[in-house]
Amino acid sequence: MRRALVKSMGPIHSAFRHYEAKRPLMYASTVLHDVKYKTDVCNCAHSSYMFSRALSAGAANVNYEEVKRMGPLVEYERRISVGELEDGDNCQIGTLREIQRLYDELSNSVHACHLDRDSDPGKTGRSRWLWSRFMPQTSVSPVKGLYLYGGVGTGKTMLMDLFFDQLPCSWRKKRIHFHDFMLNVHSRLQRHKGVSDPLEVVAGEISHESILLCLDEFMVNDVADALILNRLFKHLFCNGVILVATSNRAPDNLYERGLQRDLFLPFISTLKERCIIHEIGSSVDYRRRTSAEEGFYFIQKGTSDFLMQRFKELIGEHIARPREVEVVMGRKLEVPLGANGCAYFPFEELCDKPLGAADYFGLCKNFHTLALDGVPIFGLHNRTAAYRFVTLVDVMYENKARLMCTAEGTPFELLERIITIADAQYVAPRTSSRSRKNDDFDLCVDNELGFAKDRTISRLTEMNSKEYLEQHSEMVANKWFEGTGNETKNENVVHA
């Protein structure tokens, strides 16, 4: 009976392959239909979001004759002309041309890439997986993605947002922070336990929702993520997904010296095969060009009482109580004090406990402001807390949350003792004139933290700036009480 069923599927499979072979000719008759996508562009760019990522002056102007009249490069020039951005440097102009090239390729390949929602067959991830058992197929995209990497503050996120905001609303697209993306993947894997290949089902679900996947801050420092990335993205690419990613690290430096990295290396090869790799070579940290006049970062000792006073000013007439908020997969996060969208934590309660990105995302979904008391100088003795603090800053920055804190030093001083392996080679060795008691035994040599250090310093500096706080206020006014982050929705009061 089973042989008869398999035999009967032969003509169907042959017909399907015949249809696939003829499909490029069918697409040629619909070229005119693609033109409408060049005008069906969302007007959803937020100029204020770009403000703190203002670009440096002195670069050559973009030649309008080089590009079509739509897309990220033209939108960039428009924002310069109205004063929303300053002229960018030559490195950013070169990156913009690369982004414009991708935009044009996608616009000319809407049907071939199945970008429009109407072109999707409508199968769910699980049903797509079941269908593939009978009809083996692959639909790798004819358009390669883009992997942008460069130093901190070079405008990677701004450039990605500029690209994403110019894409039509009708396209199957998604822009998400890499931390959040991987949390979503692990949550989906939990739901599909018992399936022979849950990663294939998850990849089917993701590609059904979004063919164009934009991941910001691609950074692998978790062994669980590293072990599944290769298989996950092989499935995604076979389903036609196009990846656009930003990162501080070149592909060859991802997950450097990580546990079982040999199992991660095939992903780097896959990434290079399916994406064009482009480095943003700017040496300017644009975040540090913002002014820092508002002062929510307190360094002096004995400022805990002052921080609590500022916290009470922000919550107004509301009463701060212990709270409990939901994070992913039913987990709960206890908040020592929370009210009116503001949460208060001693540092050790948030970074010395076994918490991670999921907990911090849950915190930011329920509170738009965090008062953090007692951020220490980081070194070898508290390296784990440093990892959590770096993750916390990343999540808060991505969610445009406001940080008030007391700290033992400036952002640079907090992370000064953390260095990379390469930097460690330049540390002066002990000599006869340099006693053992003067050695810095708290020096932390850690590549992942060392590479994240500059990004964290840069973000802490920007988060304390007038421009960032203006963006935060606009975000709170526009979204907080519209149901996208209202703390009363997912938060319970914990009575003492």
Q: Encode pLDDT of 337-380 as tens digits.
A: 999 999 999 999 999 999 999 899 999 999 999 999 999 999 99
- Mean pLDDT, residues 316-331: 87
Question: 71 pLDDT band (50/70/90 cuts)?
Answer: confident
Q: Could you tell me what percent of the chain has a pLDDT over 70?
A: 70
99: pLDDT strictly greater than 90: yes
Q: How many CB atoms lie within 10 A of CB 325?
A: 22
Beta strand 321-326 with 332-339 is antiparallel
Beta strand 418-419 with 444-445 is parallel
- Mean pLDDT, residues 200-210: 95
- Mean pLDDT, residues 219-248: 92
267: pLDDT strictly greater than 80: yes
**CA 405 to CA 304: how far, in whole Å?**
9
> What single-letter amino acid sits at 143?
V
pLDDT for residue 440: 57
In this structure, are residues 53 and 158 in contact, taking their beta carbons and an 8 Å threshold? yes
**CA 374 to CA 406: how far, in whole Å?**
5
Under DSSP, is residue 439 helix (H, G, I), strand (E, B) or coil? coil
**CA 471 to CA 32: how far, in whole Å?**
41
pLDDT for residue 484: 44
pLDDT for residue 119: 57
pTM as predicted: 0.56
8-state DSSP, 32: H
249: Cα within 13 Å, side-chain hemisphere: 19
- The set of residues, in sequence order, having a beta carbon less than 8 Å from that of 96 and lying 6+ positions away, is 62, 72, 73, 76, 88, 159, 162
- Mean pLDDT, residues 416-420: 90
Question: 15 pLDDT band (50/70/90 cuts)?
Answer: very low
**To the nearest 5 percent, what fractions of the chain are helix, strand and coil?**
50, 15, 35
Angle at 254 between CA 253 and CA 258, to 5 degrees: 100
